[in-house]
Structure 1
Amino acid sequence: MTNEQYAQAESFWTRKDETEKKLDADALYSWIDEFLSTHKVLTLATATKDFIRCTPLEYSWYNGALWIFTEGGLKFKALKENKHIAAAVFETSASFGGLRSLQIEGTVELVELFSDEYKNVAEFRKIPMEALMKLKEPMWLLKIVPSEITCLNSDFKKDGFGSRQIWKKCHS
């Protein structure tokens, strides 16, 4: 590809978004909330310098954040230096014209082991604290706070909206 072709491909959605009808922010967030509540697996991308890791993980959507209990792994190599993440949640059986997915950008926090916040999420997930405390290795808890979520939903077009909608967290 030439530089011009890369630029053309890169700007596709930006150019298309300029003419597409946008959903109301509350309606968009409601769709995001429903989608994240009815799915359980995301792909988490972490990176630092020349190290990149992409990990499928089970999550819970609770109180406006994604929560992941994890034993550890190479994702922590990147998280140690870079708290910015990207994640994807998607329909695994999408057909052409039937796409539904979220691309999430945000930051990750490591929740202190056995803190009140840790216990609240364990309770929400129905994971007994006694079991977590007896483990030989700890189950770390990641809290992902989204700053931007890009929604791709072919069904939005049925109501006259663009199939790509972007939600951004308000910084107040």
Structure 2
Amino acid sequence: MHPIQRFIDAQQGKDFYPSYQSAYAEIKAGKKQSHWIWYIFPQLAALGYSSTAKYFGIVDLNEACEFIQHKELFNNYYEMAQLVLRQLEKTPITVLMGGTIDALKLTSSLTLFREAAAFLLSQGANYHDFMSLIECCDQLFKKLSNQGYFPCKKTQLFVQSCLPQK
């Protein structure tokens, strides 16, 4: 099984995981209710503590790039990020994400995939709308910073360590 298949399977609702559609409906209704953050907005494996967080944790920049190079995963991530952006107009992030912990996981994930999209663009990849994802993440960080949530420094440092040296 390809490593990113675990995300595809979970988002499709296999193995009793809430599906992407269920997660989308929760955010659209104004509040995350179930447990899906790990595979909808994954973060670095090094930041997770639970077995689920480690299972769905992204191991490095290459895996983050593989995730957003996959059409279904990219589309779901971008669509959900756009929905979160719209919902932040009327709902505080801690209410929307069901608490501080998942708000922090969201910012960590946005940091990771914004950096992965920027890296792919710098390498000439243009088969997905990576620039729009970057812009969406930047807009999210602008709104989130007003609520005290900022890009994840640990994720930024990790990504920097993965980049090819010039």
TM-score range, shorter chain: under 0.3
TM-score (norm 2): 0.25
Structure with a larger share of its residues in helix: 2
Structure with a larger share of its residues in strand: 1
State the structure with more CA Rg.
1
